[in-house]
Amino acid sequence: MTRVFAPLISLFAEATELEEREVAGLLCPPPSAELGDFAFPCFVLAKRLRKSPAQIAAELAERVDSNDAIASAVAVGPYVNVRLHRAPFTSTLLEEVRNQGEQFGSSSSGNGKCVVLDFSSPNMAKPFHVGHLSSTIIGGSLSRLFAYQGYRVVRINHLGDWGTPVGQQITAFKRWGDGTELDRHPIAHMVDLYQRFHREKAENPGLEEEAREWFRKLETGDKEAREFWEHIRSVSIQELNRAYARLNVEFDAYLGEAFYEGMLQETIEEVQKAGITEVSDGALIVPLDSKGIKTPLILRKSDGSTIYATRDIAAARYRAENYRFDLCLYVVAHDQELHFRQLFATLELMGYDWAKRCVHVQFGHVHGMSTRKGGAILLDELLDRATEKVRETVMANQTLFRDVPAAEIDEVCEAVGVGAVIFGTLNHRRTKDVEFSWDNALNFNGETGPYVQYAHARLCSILRKAGDEPRGAANVELLTHDAEWALVKELARFPEVVEEACAQYEPSCVARYAVDLARAFTVFYDQCRVLGEEPELSAARLSLVNTTRVVISSALHLLCMKTPERM
RNA sequence: GCGCUCAUAGCUCAAUUGGAUAGAGCAUCUGACUACGGAUCAGAAGGUUGGGGGUUCGACUCCCUCUGAGCGCACCA
């Protein structure tokens, strides 16, 4: 929380005898700036004081009227609308950002705490398509948000690197694979082979048996199977890291399904010790009726092998023991809701107190992301098209990029194109299904990533032309324009937006804020000239410009977006 | 059949978690300075918040019901 609201909050806390925290939660901007800067709704006091909210508002307005911080307090119906003295508020805010820099908006609320994030988690030897975007980007942004709140963050990629599909991949390669092709285009080649396997298995039932045999060999440590698996896994990770680098996302560990193989026996024994298992149709299950779930969790199949549920229990226990997390977030699509309810319920029945600190951060489907041929759109295809579209605009701006080296132009196009895609997946609440369209994905006007980055580039441009960054305190008394004031108020919101985004696991809060801030700036930019005014006014505005640049850059960073200085 | 999620302007999304006259962008139409970058700004038009009940000072928000959509319901992940 910023100090800027402190005078306002303490004043109302005193007048109403409410806790400061409660007051902070109640204060809100009025529907229109003409009504005032902040509003205090009096409904909660009505019951306690046995008076109508309007009456309370009227009395409260009398009590808090004008002092150092507040210029006026007017009762409008059940609200007390407050107008602030702009200068002290602005002065405090600018000073705070000047002192804290990129740390403005961060907090220490997560100090000493640990959050584990499980996200992205694709299957190995498969293409990285746009279906993986949501988990990857939401997880990536949440990582940064929690780190910003002081948490120790552990980012885990629960890679799909085990199970019968691996046996199928080995079988396909042994039959039709090409070593040099594998070296040149490992993923593409493996995808071709995998698809061929599924085409041919209908006419050749022996293939499935062969695949099971290869997987059995892999499980029992057969050298040939193991070496092939390791090679495919390693090139898959290389390929994935390339995609993650484009998306500005990183992981602390690839702990795939294979990693937990050695723990499964012990895991099953632990579940059995809890006395919650049953044998049903030859399978070992955990009935969950007591938790209101009709479908049991399957611990071991009737053929004796295990499935994902057992591995997820093992993974959860591993994370609890090794990281002692305060929060374990699974950023996984909505389809797996039942599975996670089963998993968490089982962990609770096992008596783990940390089970209730596990959360399924689910998100909706993105529909219509298939190509005409029926396959999914590849990530690179989407990013490349976005980047090329950006290049058209950049190339049209001859004057700005005249002396800029080609490599730097490439960098800008990449930053903006990828930024547009990232922003596109974060600017709506994660639970709702969305419709993908190329028109929308490649529209860079209005509420988009480029709009926010463009505002940042203009801010940088002003600062570049001004020469040195503004230092020291500005004469904030000169910042009297409404557009300046609106921008200042918008800047002050940033810390609570970050807090909100963490509390709800909603990066979209930050995305929405970034647009609001960028808009407040462009309105200011349109109405207030910075350079070439009276030196003192120019300096004051420059100070506001630099503050805005810092905050917009922080917001973009939290969204895993780059902050180009020109575009 | 049961469960989860969703339904807001022509389209894509908001709405400070129960608060003031439901707001933005896209598309459409109209306008903008020989000044810091027009990927911009200002304005117009666009709504019975899927339908119907209920809860209360107040409901897009909570409850019930109906309709529609997406997803999931034991050996895939």
**Distance from C-alpha of A411 to C-alpha of A409, rounded to nearest angstrom:** 5
What HEC string does A63-94 produce?
A: HHCCCCCEEEEEEECCEEEEEECHHHHHHHHH
**Distance from C-alpha of A239 to C-alpha of A123, rounded to nearest angstrom:** 12
Model pLDDT for residues A265-314, shown as the tens digit of each residue: 999 999 999 999 999 999 999 999 999 999 999 999 998 989 999 999 99
**Distance from C-alpha of A24 to C-alpha of A10, rounded to nearest angstrom:** 9
Tokens of A145: 């948000």
Res A34: pLDDT = 87
Beta strands in A320-396, from DSSP E residues, in sequence order: 327-333, 358-363, 366-367
> Among A8-17, A365-374, A499-508, which range has the highest average pLDDT?
A499-508
Nucleic chain B: which protein residues 87-106 of A have CB below 7 A from it? none
**Distance from C-alpha of A98 to C-alpha of A550, rounded to nearest angstrom:** 9
Model pLDDT for residues A63-102, shown as the tens digit of each residue: 887 777 899 999 998 999 999 999 999 999 999 999 999 9
**Distance from C-alpha of A433 to C-alpha of A367, rounded to nearest angstrom:** 7
**Distance from C-alpha of A195 to C-alpha of A175, rounded to nearest angstrom:** 13
| CB-based contact A536:A174 (threshold 8 Å) | no
Model pLDDT for residues A123-164, shown as the tens digit of each residue: 999 989 888 999 999 999 999 999 999 999 999 999 999 988
Give the mean pLDDT of A319-344: 97
- Distance, angstroms, CA A451 to C1' B41? 13
Q: Is the pLDDT reported for residue A526 higher than 90?
A: yes
Provide the 8-state DSSP code for A435: E
Residue closest to B73, CA→C1'?
A: A295
User: Which residues does A437 contact at the CB level (< 8 Å), separation at least 6?
Assistant: A368
**Distance from C-alpha of A493 to C-alpha of A508, rounded to nearest angstrom:** 15
**Distance from C-alpha of A241 to C-alpha of A94, rounded to nearest angstrom:** 39
Query: What residues pair up with A84 in beta bridges, in sequence order?
Result: A70
Nucleic chain B: which protein residues 149-208 of A have CB below 7 A from it? 160, 163-164
- Distance, angstroms, CA A335 to C1' B66? 26
Q: Percent of chain A having pLDDT more than 90?
A: 78
Torsional class of A446: left (φ above 0), alpha (ψ -120 to 50), beta (otherwise) = left
Q: How confident is the model at residue A487 (pLDDT cuts 50, 70, 90)?
A: very high
Nucleic chain B: which protein residues 395-414 of A have CB below 7 A from it? 397, 400
Dihedral, CA atoms, A465, A469, A474, A480, nearest 10 degrees? Answer: 40
| CB-based contact A214:A167 (threshold 8 Å) | yes
Sign of CA dihedral A416, A422, A424, A429: negative
- Distance, angstroms, CA A81 to C1' B56? 25
Q: Which residue has the tokens 């938790």?
A: A291
Q: Which residue has the tokens 């109302």?
A: A12
Give the mean pLDDT of A485-510: 96
Q: What are phi and psi of A515, to 5 degrees?
A: -65, -45
- Residue A132 known to be catalytic: yes
**Distance from C-alpha of A410 to C-alpha of A422, rounded to nearest angstrom:** 18
| CB-based contact A145:A162 (threshold 8 Å) | no
Q: How confident is the model at residue A1 (pLDDT cuts 50, 70, 90)?
A: low
Tokens of A171: 């079988």
In chain A the first and final C-alpha atoms are separated, in Å, by: 33
Res A399: pLDDT = 85
This complex has an ipTM of 0.95
Nearest to A123 by CA among A178, A191, A27: A191
Model pLDDT for residues A67-77, shown as the tens digit of each residue: 778 999 999 98
> Among A121-135, A189-203, A243-257, A395-409, which range has the highest average pLDDT?
A243-257
Q: How confident is the model at residue A264 (pLDDT cuts 50, 70, 90)?
A: very high
Model pLDDT for residues A360-395, shown as the tens digit of each residue: 999 998 887 776 555 788 999 999 999 999 999 999
| CB-based contact A232:A169 (threshold 8 Å) | yes
Beta strands in A308-457, from DSSP E residues, in sequence order: 327-333, 358-363, 366-367, 434-435
Q: What are phi and psi of A65, to 5 degrees?
A: -55, 135
Q: How confident is the model at residue A50 (pLDDT cuts 50, 70, 90)?
A: confident
| CB-based contact A91:A81 (threshold 8 Å) | no
Sign of CA dihedral A338, A343, A347, A349: positive
| CB-based contact A299:A286 (threshold 8 Å) | yes
**Distance from C-alpha of A537 to C-alpha of A479, rounded to nearest angstrom:** 7
| CB-based contact A134:A425 (threshold 8 Å) | yes
Nearest to A561 by CA among A410, A425, A420, A372: A420
- Distance, angstroms, CA A469 to C1' B36? 15
Nucleotides of B under 7 A from a protein CB: 2-7, 11-17, 19-21, 23-27, 35-37, 39-42, 57-58, 70-77
**Distance from C-alpha of A412 to C-alpha of A127, rounded to nearest angstrom:** 26
CA-derived radius of gyration, chain A = 28
As separate numbers, helices (DSSP H) first and strands (DSSP E) second, chain A gives: 23, 13
Specify the amino acid at residue A442: L
Tokens of A236: 């898959």
Exactly one of A132, A158, A189, A489 is catalytic; name it. Answer: A132
